[in-house]
A and B are shown apart, each in its own frame.
Chain A
Amino acid sequence: MQLDQLYQEIILDHYKRPQGRGLREPFAAGVHHVNPTCGDEITLRVALDGETISDISYDGQGCSISQASASVLYELLNGRKVDDAFAVHAAFVELMGGKGQIEPDEEVLGDAVAFAGVAKYPARVKCALLSWMALKDAVAQAVALEKEEV
């Protein structure tokens, strides 16, 4: 098997030196997601500044794929407009569901293209998606709260 396809340098790098890790204040919404089959866990918070995601902070435990994926997500989406972030999110989810058949667009996905290899391992796709699903959940909650307040 092409193990290096799964464990690309970029992934190992993010795993060993995670970006943006740690829970921070203030935040508009926080969520806790778990992967029940393997026990990976993430707590993720988002802060909004108008249309912009002004902070994504997170903490969790799990395999290199799930942890690196959270770090890449932070790098890619922190400081982005909510709509832009959701577009990238959709591209990542599509890549992970593509069974390795989808050619990722580096312009859109940045370091997340390294996860293309993960899509070939059905057992690991959930690991890669954990933080992304948590982010979507948290942003949706934060946006809903903001609307209530207006």
Chain B
Amino acid sequence: MTALTIPAGMPQYDDKPRFDVERVRADFPILGREVNGHPLVYLDSGNTSQKPRQVIDAVARYYAEHNANVARSVHTLGTESTEAYEGARAKVAAFIGAPSVDEVVFTKNATESLNLVAHAFGPHARDPRFRLGPGDEIVISEMEHHSNIVPWQLLCERTGATLRWFGLTESGRLDESNLDELVNERTKIVSIVHMSNVLGTVNATARITARVREVGALLMLDCSQSVPHLPMDVVDYDVDFIAFTGHKMLAPTGIGVLWGRGELLNVMPPFLGGGSMIETVKMTGSTFAPAPARFEAGTPPIAQAVGLGAAIDYLNAVGMDAVAWHDKELTAYALDALDTVPGLRIYGPRVPVGRGATISFTLDKIHPHDVGQVLDSLGVQVRVGHHCAKPICDRFSVPALTRASFYLYTTTEEVDALVRGLDQVRKVFA
């Protein structure tokens, strides 16, 4: 990173919140292992994060000491279990600045959260904001994960509504030049990714939010990549829904979150039907519990929710401002380091501003599968392929990309190992 002198009296780099990466690493048992005879270099956190001992232990302790089903027992274990599950909900609510814990719906992952919201729209929706038919429009973008594309495509097929897309600029940012035309009186919902899992772009949402409010549409952010890495306040962002997924933020798989404004959640139809989501069930029909229970049919992922609570405790202890700053410094370092590799081309912003710690690239004409395979032989774990975001590959005319993604336990030495590995790749395929 170019060293700049910041005038006295302004916030200095040293004022930034920091943490000791080595101490953090010591909390992650898996980081001590070897892969193919080399120390593990895990650069696939955008795919799923590793788990600290605190989270692993919290899950084990829950099973060893408190396990019972939630919300349906009078006995002590049932009460403890319910408290643990609801306690996790409260932690999530505080973590994202939700005005009420009842606005936090536990799902199994971000994909379910996105589908749940898409499912609320239809020709017969009771609330006009969710009524959707031919002539209505839904807006997403070309940098979406398939999870934020396919549910809307299916919805449009069911209802005859039209799906529209924000384009991307050459540098991998949202093209907002046609915002006023794209988001208009026919728009019912805009659902876009907060941070791209491929390009790393962090979308500035203020202009879009303002336009969405102007036309009376709803706004959803796919925060799968942002909530793990950046401080989030849903009131500040003035959004209607956000989706994210526990496993990318130090928590177990099998737990995701939908946050929505309470007023909206309570006019939405249930997603799955079953136990725990009803008010009363009669043979003539049923009425449904208010959110969040309305959307949590069946036995929920209790231990996973407890793990998510522990993950949030861990992130809070490190501090999300510090995590975000660590990401930024590491990204700046990595962008510079990758720039030295001949034949390497980065897709996405090439400056560490308005982007997160995820970098996708191609290396000459070498197929990313081959890049990933050689890197794996050196212990370096990266993701290769289309990253469940095929429209991005199409936009930039590449069949596949190699992606390195970092987290709070990633070090500059690991970035160096990646760069050395890429040299090796070039040797094999020279």
Contact = CB atoms under 8 A, between A and B. Distances in A.
Interface of A: 1, 3, 6-7, 12, 37-41, 61-65, 121, 124, 127
Most buried by B among A6, A38, A40: A38
Contacts of A6: 373
Nearest to A121: B373
3 nearest CB pairs, A to B? A63-B369, A1-B36, A63-B367
B367 A3 contact: no
Contacts of B268: none
Nearest to B401: A39
B370 interface: yes
Contacts, number: 51
Given A1-B36, A1-B37, A38 B373 contact: no
Contacts of B429: 12, 64
B388 to A, nearest CB: 10
B399 A62 contact: yes
A38 B428 contact: no
B367 A64 contact: yes
Nearest to B373: A6
Contact of A38 (B36, B374, B376, B385): B385
Contacts of B368: 38, 63
Interface in B356-388: 367-370, 373-374, 376-377, 384-386
A65 B369 contact: yes
Interface in B266-296: none
Nearest to A64: B370
B393 interface: yes
Contacts of B36: 1
Contacts of A64: 367, 369-370, 429
Nearest to A37: B385
B428 A7 contact: yes
B367 A124 contact: no
Contacts of B428: 3, 7, 12
A61 B386 CA distance: 14
B400 A39 contact: yes
A61 B374 CA distance: 19
Given A7-B428, A39-B393, A39-B400, A124 B376 contact: no
Contacts of B400: 38-39
How large, as a class, is the contact surface on chain B? Answer: 10 to 19
A61 B393 CA distance: 14
Given A39-B386, A39-B400, A61-B399, A1 B376 contact: yes
B399 A1 contact: no
A3 B374 contact: yes
Contacts of A62: 367, 369, 399
Contacts of A37: 385
Contacts of A121: 373
A38 B376 CA distance: 16
Contacts of A39: 385-386, 390, 393, 399-400
A12 B36 CA distance: 22
Contacts of A1: 36-37, 376-377
A62 B429 CA distance: 14
Given A1-B377, A61-B399, A127 B369 contact: yes
Given A3-B377, A12-B429, 15 more contacts: A1-B36, A6-B373, A7-B370, A7-B373, A7-B374, A38-B385, A39-B386, A39-B400, A40-B399, A62-B369, A63-B368, A64-B429, A65-B370, A121-B373, A124-B369
A87 B429 CA distance: 32
Nearest to B390: A39
11 contacts: A1-B37, A1-B377, A3-B377, A6-B373, A7-B428, A39-B400, A62-B367, A63-B369, A64-B370, A124-B373, A127-B369
Interface in B99-143: none
A14 to B, nearest CB: 13
A39 B389 CA distance: 12
A1 B34 CA distance: 11
A7 B427 CA distance: 12
Contact of A63 (B370, B377, B390, B393): B370
A6 B376 CA distance: 12
A136 B369 CA distance: 25
A127 B400 CA distance: 14
A124 B377 CA distance: 14
A145 B390 CA distance: 35
A41 B386 CA distance: 13
